[in-house]
Structure 1
């Protein structure tokens, strides 16, 4: 795009006028008609829309007023790190950025309340100053808290559930503008449904999490052959606080990563940016895709000689990894007893069919829960995630992977690409109809449903 200085100034002036009009109380419909539409797209660029309005309320009361006249469908947006079409709408994209920060901390019960738009990457230090820390974290910290819990985003560790499982209370603004405080003892059914809701019940404004005292972790990274990993994965998951591994396609090798609590002095990692390694794998695919055996020999030789890496830091610095190389992703959560067999089939399918892929395949352990729409409900689980470079077509690769995941009773991550619909989910989730009942009661007109969610929930 050719952006001259004049164009930049024009766009800036337009945005300033729109902001001033909103602050002055200009009716939203008039504002939407007069303002230039601004494209929204997610992190990977795979999802986009041109909404009539883009709004960012600063309080629950302000949000309640906006919901009465904002163009519909209304879709809340976090950081745009979901790959499914949860956000795209011709109506209103509703940013939670102004609803952020640590709002309250209870030292006695080790809980803290956050604005729903708080980025995960901004939680660690702020919580530490309050004498608290998250019990577990995902490996990407760019998401908002609301987006993370709404899709049951998770880290790894056989004894740790998704972020949603640590919610003790939440505040939800419904389609009618009602502000509900929900907990195990207050608006109980809404609380059960809202801990994983896809943003389909209303808009989360506050979230209270169960936390713990701050702690340090030792992170260890080393390589070992795929067959050895298949034999040792369960024991490694039992021995370590957090354990995950990656299989490097066309290498026969895995990278293992463990975290364990420690009192050692901090020894920080020099860099958390693994983009160079990913792009090297991409180059090898381009150069040697025609020669899988040679490609495997080169990657395996490099990984076999990879020195073990060990470092120590505070938990919130250990968990996240920088992901500068953009991709699209499919992730399924499988019963723990079936997951390793599924991964073996994934590897076999890729390499016997010479499918072009270079991104490592991620394998994690997650504790089961009883949340209505949690992919981990009712069973101990493992997740398998496959990635495709954002400039490449992902459909052929994911179409080859999804039947494997489904054959092993997998449930898709709500924020990752899949092809399932309402009938599929009704068979996968025992409390599916209970969720639909709550959803219809809170939003009978479906103002929070875009095309994707109408398909997911089977709504006409």
Structure 2
């Protein structure tokens, strides 16, 4: 009897015929051969932190979490080579011990390196593209068991496509990414009227090394956070800051439970149990300042827009959210990033603004996400591949200028759809041979 597998958020589940846990590349090759002989599709999974069915399969599910470990840190080349199933938390720790760091990172570190690459994971900062943009080389096992090495010189086209591939080209087993000397950041919180923030959005976006803003739709002010590089020492007690942020996550989780009693409960709880407010400023190591534990399970939606389009999109969202009447206890989050050149990167070809909404796990909040998705889609947004969305190939293809570049690479490496599932077929279409066989 097959075993049920579920994503971290419990948003999606499946019953693969086989769940394999390869420990190294040779076992990945063997599992692909076994699946091919059985006529099974294959999907690879790391931490399962996607909020959709991206990795679900009724064939073979490759759990890559045991294919982990840092292989080499090269300070002279400013790179680190790491196995694909390594968590970002483990990578950050190893780099810190070696006096190195990722130049940018998102808030969640339980994700694996390959999962973060495949789905377009990112942090914030106009000088920084998505995490996948740091990859300078990777190793990929394709559908026929061939191991392909690619880097910026030997096979730049494959590298561009494989950096953000949704797992559609093969199983990534090893990645080399750029790193920098370890650094510290000063976190400076602030508050300003939302309209003022939107009026000067471009200027605000470039006002610090890393910026973010959060906004609760029933308020007129937004909270901001700026992270500036500094030579100052880390403050005593700075390591407690992420834990205090986790307390805020718990507060939001409680407000989500209270919302079952009525739509107005979210505002009531938020006003009765005011959110944690960080001190005016503190200094910590970069990877500690970027991230914090998230103990409460949730659903999330995020879309990438042209940076200049964020103000109009958020203004329209303000009206739509207030009319909808059901508020999430989690604030709308705005971040920014540099352009990327991976064909399926949500940040492809443009300076980008990211708009994220997190909600409690309940059916009524799924309706809220769908409404938000509709508004953002009308502003030319591209969905985060790992978060909740309903986009299809017909919607997505016009939004990606190099869509056909990726399609050709997919047709070459996986013509029979070994790495395709129903979700991926909706997003990218079926491979040519699968279409021909219908």
- Give the alignment's TM-score, normalised by structure 2: 0.91
Are 1:277 and 2:251 matched, yes or no? yes
SS of residue paired to 2:66: coil
**In 2, Cα distance between the equivalents of 1:57 and 1:128?**
28
Residues 263 and 326 of structure 2 are in contact (CA less than 8 Å); yes or no, is this contact kept in structure 1?
A: no
Partner of 2:3: 38
2:29 is matched with which residue: 64, 84, 87? 64
**In 2, Cα distance between the equivalents of 1:78 and 1:443?**
21
SS of residue paired to 1:397: helix
**In 2, Cα distance between the equivalents of 1:128 and 1:162?**
20
**In 1, Cα distance between the equivalents of 2:146 and 2:402?**
25
Q: How much does 1:212 deviate? A: 0.6
SS of residue paired to 1:75: strand
Partner of 2:313: 342
SS of residue paired to 2:19: strand
Residues 239 and 288 of structure 2 are in contact (CA less than 8 Å); yes or no, is this contact kept in structure 1?
A: no
Are 1:134 and 2:105 matched, yes or no? no
SS of residue paired to 2:180: coil
SS of residue paired to 1:97: helix
Aligned-pair Cα RMSD in Å: 2.2
SS of residue paired to 2:224: strand
SS of residue paired to 1:164: helix
Are 1:47 and 2:12 matched, yes or no? yes
2:340 is matched with which residue: 350, 362, 369? 369
Are 1:170 and 2:138 matched, yes or no? yes
Q: How much does 1:402 deviate? A: 1.6
SS of residue paired to 1:393: helix
Residues 171 and 207 of structure 1 are in contact (CA less than 8 Å); yes or no, is this contact kept in structure 2?
A: yes
Are 1:442 and 2:413 matched, yes or no? yes
Alignment gaps of 5+ in structure 1: 1-35
Deviations 1:40-77 (A, max 9, x none): 10011010011111111122122112101125211000
Partner of 1:379: 350
Q: How much does 1:232 deviate? A: 4.6
SS of residue paired to 1:83: coil
Q: How much does 1:131 deviate? A: 3.0
Change (3 A) 1:386 1:322: same
**In 2, Cα distance between the equivalents of 1:357 and 1:128?**
36
**In 2, Cα distance between the equivalents of 1:78 and 1:99?**
10
Q: How much does 1:269 deviate? A: 4.5
Change (3 A) 1:130 1:386: same
Change (3 A) 1:279 1:59: closer
Deviations 1:119-173 (A, max 9, x none): 0011112012333210110111110010000011100111100011111000000
Partner of 1:255: 223
Q: How much does 1:174 deviate? A: 0.5
Are 1:329 and 2:300 matched, yes or no? yes
1:409 is matched with which residue: 368, 377, 380? 380
- Give the alignment's TM-score, normalised by structure 1: 0.86
Q: How much does 1:373 deviate? A: 0.7
Q: How much does 1:280 deviate? A: 5.6
Between 1:346-355 and 1:427-436, the stretch displaced more is 346-355
SS of residue paired to 2:152: coil
Change (3 A) 1:307 1:49: closer
Are 1:189 and 2:157 matched, yes or no? yes
Aligned length: 422
Q: How much does 1:282 deviate? A: 3.6
Residues 47 and 83 of structure 1 are in contact (CA less than 8 Å); yes or no, is this contact kept in structure 2?
A: yes
Partner of 1:245: 213
**In 2, Cα distance between the equivalents of 1:423 and 1:151?**
19
**In 1, Cα distance between the equivalents of 2:327 and 2:123?**
28
**In 2, Cα distance between the equivalents of 1:266 and 1:154?**
24
Q: How much does 1:383 deviate? A: 0.6
Change (3 A) 1:283 1:98: closer
**In 2, Cα distance between the equivalents of 1:60 and 1:183?**
18
Residues 342 and 405 of structure 1 are in contact (CA less than 8 Å); yes or no, is this contact kept in structure 2?
A: yes
Q: How much does 1:396 deviate? A: 1.5
Are 1:115 and 2:92 matched, yes or no? no
Q: How much does 1:258 deviate? A: 1.3
Q: How much does 1:85 deviate? A: 0.9
Alignment gaps of 5+ in structure 2: none
**In 2, Cα distance between the equivalents of 1:47 and 1:297?**
29
Change (3 A) 1:134 1:357: same
**In 2, Cα distance between the equivalents of 1:282 and 1:248?**
14
Q: How much does 1:251 deviate? A: 2.5
Residues 215 and 222 of structure 2 are in contact (CA less than 8 Å); yes or no, is this contact kept in structure 1?
A: yes
Query: Which of structures 1 and 2 has the bigger CA Rg?
Result: 1
Deviations 1:203-261 (A, max 9, x none): 00000001110101111223333233324543332221000011113222322111111
**In 1, Cα distance between the equivalents of 2:177 and 2:270?**
47
Deviations 1:309-351 (A, max 9, x none): 4221111111112222211111110011111211111121111
Partner of 1:75: 43
SS of residue paired to 1:206: strand
Partner of 1:266: 234
Q: How much does 1:285 deviate? A: 4.8
Change (3 A) 1:231 1:306: farther
